Amino acid sequence: MQAAEAVIEHPGQPLFHSLAGTPHAPHAPSRSVDLLNRIARSWSHRAQVKKNEPDTLIDAGTDLPEFLEHLLPFHEHPRYQALDTDTKMRILSCGWIIYNEKTVAIELDIVSPVCQDILYDNVPGLDNELSKEIVCETLVDEAYHLLLVKNANRITRQRRQLEHIRIPQFALVRQMREEQDRHMPSWAGLLVRLSTAVVSEIFISDYLHQLSEETSIQPLNRATVAAHRHDELAHSKIFSELTRNFYHALGSTQKGFFASMLPKSIHWFADQELDLWLDVLQQLGVPGAQAMVEECRELNRVALDRLDYSGVVKLASEVGILDSAEGHAAFRNARLI
């Protein structure tokens, strides 16, 4: 490894220090700092953990489904349409469980490790007390979200007798880790995860909005998602502003690498998770599950069309990523611009 690429991998030691040859100069655009300050100061009033949690006794019986049918990646397939009502209800209940477990995966495998990277001073441009304060608040939020969705899933599993269903690893996490394994420098793995966290936090509020105001599903489910989304609207702003600060503190090599990772992260988030769904459908004993899922593979090719990625493109433009040759090419080749 070249001296310029040497990294220090001990917690508390910045991974990027030796890449630039000298410590990174502080770069904190005043508008970003002002916004982060306002968000940090408003946390005690905004954070759902400071409020009453959804009433777990809210129950509309078993007639209302747990989830929206049109969010199933195979809902229009004739094999699904031909299933009996009870089987469909069990599949919809698993859809709700999967929806929540994806939240768990994002919080535990992507966002929380990035917050730890920031607290250990491993991310240039964010080694300041304001960034650390707001990251600590975010970690408290995320822990509360885990409690919310785990409680919701426990209730659904008991109500629908689905305690035996196990959820495999999500493609979003698997693809992120596979990408990390392709690159030798430790800073590259950190930037892969950082890119995935930024994209996930920008997208997740829209992901949650799909259910947060939906009256046709179980009331507890709607209330759970609404409470979670309230925090995530703030997190989207937080991670956008953190990006403005750390991106300009990167060296040129790292800027190009981070720019190339953002489009990949968008595609990972858009994945329809068909392999995971096949596993779950087989656990349920759904007839024809293999054929149905295989015939829906084409959906993953157009999954991006169902995702509003304009927020990520706007952020990339505003921080200057699209002004670089590498960044513009990465977004263009991914058909995002």
Q: For the chain, list the domains and their CATH numbers.
A: 33-51+81-333 (1.10.620.20)
DSSP notation for 51-100: SPPP-TT----SSS-SS-GGGSTTTTSHHHHTS-HHHHHHHHHHHHHHHH
- pLDDT value at residue 19: 40
Distance of CA 206 to the CA centre of its chain: 11
**What is the per-residue pLDDT across 217-262, written as a single tens digit (0 to 9) for each?**
999 999 999 888 887 777 889 999 999 999 999 999 999 999 999 9
Q: Band of the pLDDT at 6, cuts 50, 70, 90?
A: very low
What was the pLDDT predicted at 162?
A: 97
State mean pLDDT over 69-73: 95
User: Percent of the chain scored above 70 by pLDDT?
Assistant: 81
Asked if residue 33 lies in contact with residue 185, where contact means CB atoms within 8 angstroms, the answer is: no
Compute and round to an integer the Cα radius of gyration of the chain: 21
pLDDT exceeds 70 at position 60: no
Mean pLDDT of the chain, nearest integer: 85
Report the predicted TM-score, pTM, of the whole model to 2 decimal places.
0.84
- Does residue 140 contact residue 223 with C-beta atoms inside 8 Å? no
Q: Residue range 318-324: average pLDDT? A: 95
Residue 54 has pLDDT above 90, yes or no: no
